[in-house]
Amino acid sequence: MNSITIRRPDDWHLHLRDETLLETTVPHTAEVFHRAVVMPNLVPPVTTVAAALSYRERIMAQVGAEQRFDPRMALYLTGETSVEEIKKAAAEEKVIGFKLYPSGATTNSASGVKSVEALAPVLEVMQAHGVPLLVHGEVTDADIDIFDREKVFIERHLIPITQQFPALKLILEHITTGDAVDFVTSAHDNVAATMTPQHLLMNRNHLLVGGVRPHNYCLPILKRREHQERLQKAALSGNPKFFLGTDSAPHVKANKETACGCAGCYSAPAAIELYAEFFSQHDALDKLENFSSVFGAQFYDLPLNDEYLTLTQQTWQVPEQVDTATGPIVPYYAGETLHWKRA
């Protein structure tokens, strides 16, 4: 097989940041993906429908005239999120749901939720109005090992939520463990998960062996090979509960290569090629279209895209860095060889 044509994909988990960085991040995604779920962890966070629509306008200002790009905005869930705001979100097509960040779990999450249990009244309203809950699933207790944070969050919070609110659509973002695969697989049909290229292509050896690799550092952190293999098996299974979400997260080189580097892999410059690399490595390119272009749209009850994208088999290298108005960014897989490229 020298080429493959798939329905145009969607990215169901994306960070674009704001201001001048949008000049770089938006085109990288808009030229490939039709829809993208845009994360709200700006400073200050995007907590209202009005703020989300304003942010969306700034994003759309960077979309080329020939491009069809439809960002769907996530709102930042806090302890102060009101019933009125949930109803506004339910009525606004361009708002896809609320993002639950445990306080301190990742970049710009200081305003996140401190008590998941206290969210019950809010989740009840979200369930009643059909508003999805997007979850960064990690506990932040200082005594919990960083490699166990996802597992403990599932046991402590997500299983009770899905039992108490069975009609609530819940997306466990950027899953990293076999525990997450088991949870999503065994949960009811309103539960799904997104998968990143880094968690499919790498394990914690790629972060730590031979020295710390800051550009492979993300949260949730890369796990053992056995967990990577469980993720791979789930992605290759054709189970519609698992679909593409890059979690592409840009940080300038200076903020990654420092004594306390930022978490996040900027995969957008080669996102669909990275997924194609993974599926090709497992002789499963026939599974790429459903994973990237069908299952997510179906879960969110959205129409499938009517445009197509062709990938051809050719060897190329991911650029060593991407220049931006705020400084150079080292993309995920920088300098590495890929074997599929958009035509």
Active site residues: 247
Phi then psi dihedrals of residue 126, to 5 deg: -60, -45
Answer yes or no: is 99 a known binding residue. Answer: yes
Answer yes or no: is 282 a known binding residue. Answer: no
Answer yes or no: is 88 a known binding residue. Answer: no
- Do strands 308-317 and 337-342 pair parallel, antiparallel, or not at all (unpaired)? antiparallel
Q: What single-letter DSSP state applies at residue 211?
A: S
Measured distance CA(101)–CA(111) in Å, rounded: 8
Answer yes or no: is 41 a known binding residue. Answer: yes
Answer yes or no: is 247 a known binding residue. Answer: yes
Burial class for 124, CB neighbours closer than 10 Å (0-12, 13-18, 19+): middle
Directed axis angle between helix 225-236 and helix 178-186, to 10°?
A: 30
Phi then psi dihedrals of residue 260, to 5 deg: -135, 75
The structure tokens listed for 240 are 């519609």
* CA quadruple 151, 15, 297, 176: dihedral, nearest 10: -20
User: How many residues make up the chain in this entry?
Assistant: 343
Answer yes or no: is 15 a known binding residue. Answer: yes
Measured distance CA(243)–CA(11) in Å, rounded: 9
Answer yes or no: is 215 a known binding residue. Answer: no
Beta carbons of 176 and 150 less than 8 angstroms apart: yes
Cis before 220 (ω within 30): yes
Directed axis angle between helix 271-281 and helix 225-236, to 10°?
A: 90
Measured distance CA(185)–CA(234) in Å, rounded: 9
Answer yes or no: is 251 a known binding residue. Answer: yes
Nearest to residue 323, comparing CAs of 252, 249, 222? Answer: 252
Q: What single-letter DSSP state applies at residue 73?
A: E
Measured distance CA(42)–CA(52) in Å, rounded: 11
Please enumerate, by residue number, every residue annotated as part of a binding site for Zn(2+). Answer: 13, 15, 99, 136, 174, 247
Question: Binding-site residues, please?
Answer: 13, 15-17, 41, 99, 136, 174, 219, 247, 251, 263
**Binding-site residue set for substrate:** 15-17, 41, 136, 219, 251, 263
